[in-house]
Amino acid sequence: MTFELLLAFAERNPLLSIALVGLTLALVYTEVARLFRGYTALRPAELTALINRDNALVIDLSASNDFEKGHIAGSKSVQPSQFDPESKLLAAVKALPVVVTCRTGQASAGAAKRLKKAGFEKVYWLDGGVQAWQHADLPLIKGRRG
């Protein structure tokens, strides 16, 4: 394929060409943003290893009733409205690995950013949240306590 053929295709198909450029820019933006977000995304198996190896603190931002229906063993339930990276409770674990999760992984991504801004050194985020944990056939604990 030559550059002239590529230009001819772009002239004949302007909408496809614009769509291709748009998708390429979106992918580049997403990857660059991922590099600079400051926290690490984990898959469920990686979270299991982190909990077992480094005694990571898992903070679950799911709604109370969702947390009671099923959560990761040992996770601590914190309501998003009460999540404060500057709290005395969290200040004691600033040097430990802290993993933030929620039902789907959407709300917890913002919380991970806040932890990193507050000076936490090892911040992780469970990609896909508790639902990803379930899809990996990993056990959930029911009730209030983890």
pLDDT at 88: 79
Q: Please state, as a whole number, how many other Cβ atoms lie within 10 Å of the Cβ of residue 55.
A: 11
**pLDDT at residue 129 greater than cutoff 90:** yes
pLDDT tens digits, one per residue of 17-34: 999 989 998 888 777 766
- pLDDT confidence bin for 91, thresholds 50/70/90: confident
56 and 105 in one domain? yes
pLDDT tens digits, one per residue of 36-70: 667 899 999 999 999 999 989 999 999 999 999 99
CATH number at residue 87: 3.40.250.10
59 and 24 in one domain? no
> Is residue 141 a part of any domain in this protein?
no
Residues in the chain, total? 146
> Is residue 103 a part of any domain in this protein?
yes
Helix (H) or strand (E) holding 124: strand 122-126
80 and 15 in one domain? no
72 and 56 in one domain? yes
Instruction: Out of 28-32, 76-80, 82-86, 106-110, pick the least confident.
Output: 28-32
Residues with Cβ within 8 Å of 64's Cβ and at least 6 positions away in sequence, in order, are 77, 79
Mean confidence (pLDDT) of the chain? 89
14 and 83 in one domain? no
> Is residue 142 a part of any domain in this protein?
no
Residue range of the domain that includes 60: 39-135
- Residue 99's SS3 state is strand
Answer for the pair 100, 59: CB distance below 8 angstroms, yes or no: yes
The residues annotated as belonging to the active site are 102
48 and 29 in one domain? no
